[in-house]
Amino acid sequence: MAVSLRRATTNDHFCGGSIVNTEWILTAAHCVVNTAPSSIIVVAATTTLNSGGKSYPVSQVITHWNYLASDSWRNDIALLKLSTRIIFDSFQQPIPLAKPGQFIPKDTAVRASGWGYISMWGTVNLIDLRMVDLETMSNSYCQSLHNSAIYPSQICAYGGTGKGVCNKENGGPLVVDGTLVGIFSWGQPCSAADCPHARSAVIVGWGGVVGTPPHHRSCSQVPGSVQATACIAAEEVNPHLRGGRVENHLGKTTPVHPTEIRISISPSSAVELNTTSALANYATEAAVPVAQEESNGAVIPAVEESRVVGGKNASVGEFPYIVSIRRTSNNVHFCGGFIYSPVWVVTAVHCVLGRVLTDITVVAGATNLNEGGESYGVIRRINHRQYLATDSWRNDISLLRLDRSIIYDSQKINIPLAVPQQTLHHGVPVVASGWGYTDSARFNRPNTLQTITLQVVSNDYCQAKHTRPIYPIHLCAYGGEGYGVCNEKPPPVHPTEIRTSISPSSAVELNTIRALANYATEAGQGDSGGPLVFGGRVIGIVSWGDPCALGVPDVYVRVSEFIDWINENAVD
């Protein structure tokens, strides 16, 4: 019933899954989100990665419509439709699904399986399918051990005394008495001393597979590894590119997203393990040019404001990674940003260039500008040394070092960066969020965080709409036909707030309505410096756009082009 999901071009295993019937495979949404069906191969009927098995191309990927990576990876479930049907035999069979309303009590014996590395450092590949016996724990106990929210649609499991989840086989099965009750979703690596703190989440109960009843867990989550003498553990790859949590050599934790089950022989002490893995991780990071800090004496460039006209209010905690950047002197919001690690925030250079550090305050955990949130001072700023405002604001990315660490909770937590060399096709839906005016005439400015769904457009299309150059390091998005960014002043501009509005039949009418009323839903830019998100990862940073140009895309910093720069510079 277990299958291996592999990359069609390289045959590399990247996630697990389970056979539902002759043409459908169940896996985790985060494994396949933003992945073309043609790039995935499902291999069944094998327990060994380097031989045997039967391969099936994928014709369709369906991820849960309400998958929320930013909120504990809720609804982390997806279906893959095969191009050819599986002919069942003794080596490939479907697994019965959990029944609607089925309750899995704590201390239930469950079994997880998957492929991965046989060392914490990923030096030796695990070729054969491995299994591990775990026990479930109550969600309330699980919640007490973790910063991220644990929902009824998730179930936690661990390896018993002296064992814990070091991470997954994402998308793989969690089984009770021959029934599929869970899908590997995410987990927190652990040391031998705190293994009971490990957790994972799985969701079964969507798309007609299994109905998820209220107040019951019909899905479950599994630790991708158990750490004992020999343990399945997640390799501590760059902690900023993953999703559970990983201990670094400073003893602090940052979110990670497990993608493979790892097995490792545990060193004699947790300290030795954490130190070794952290140092090995840093040793493999790519070198990049050292960034330079800007002088506090520089002239502060004007930051023009655009907005989300008609954008809907965000729910409390819906975007826990976004921050409001304000003037310390008057507490006025002027730009957005996002949390990269407990002490580093990412924003746009044009937002902070030349500003006195003592007059910059970062507020995290707030949905409303007038209340809530926690304020942090800024003690260091690193602007990209090749930032060129005169050339389409190239390299418009900056790092802010906070004066103390953010303590993660449901209202404030970091967001994983884009996948390196990630390709986003024309028309892919993305989400922007920010604070700003709700009308072009600046009559109304909401205090509540606004959010809007936009669409990615190709750089070629974007270039055809702009007079300034669009470079590969740029990413463009807009709100569909008849939509565009509205700014207060002629270009060059730097949008600082997102807006939306339904497009009337003519540009003249549209501009008139924008100026006179909050006529909703055109996609404007999103708070300068703020995040553009796809699949639970930040893919763009709001940079610039043209004012009130009907159908003209907005321009963002393409985060996938700056991952090395961020990782190299956001260190103490």
Q: How far is CA 118 from CA 151, 240, 394, 514, in A?
A: 31, 22, 43, 60
Q: How far is CA 363 from CA 325, 326, 335, 339, in A?
A: 6, 8, 11, 11
**How far is 80 from 26, CA to CA, in rounded Å?**
7
**How far is 291 from 277, CA to CA, in rounded Å?**
26
CA angle centred on 368, ends 364 and 369, rounded to 5°: 75
Among 183, 171, 199, smallest CA distance to 14 is for 171
Catalytic residue among 4, 191, 200, 396: 396
Catalytic residue among 13, 350, 384, 494: 350
**How far is 276 from 263, CA to CA, in rounded Å?**
16
Using CA of residue 7, residue 13, residue 15, residue 20, what is the dihedral sign? positive
**Catalytic site includes residue 107:** no
**How far is 542 from 559, CA to CA, in rounded Å?**
11
Among 360, 361, 342, 348, smallest CA distance to 415 is for 342
Q: Which two tokens stand for residue 322?
A: 């976004």
**Catalytic site includes residue 528:** yes
Strand partners, 381: 400
Catalytic residue among 433, 528, 543, 560: 528
Among 535, 539, 513, smallest CA distance to 526 is for 539
Q: Which two tokens stand for residue 139?
A: 């969600």
Radius of gyration of the chain (CA): 24
CA 501, distance to chain mean position in Å, is: 27
Q: Which stretches of 120-266 are DSSP H helices?
A: 139-145
Contact 525, 396 (CB under 8 A): no
**How far is 261 from 189, CA to CA, in rounded Å?**
11
**Catalytic site includes residue 76:** no
Q: Which residues fall within 8 angstroms of residue 344, CB to CB, at 6 or more apart?
A: 399, 400, 401, 402, 570
Catalytic residues: 350, 396, 528
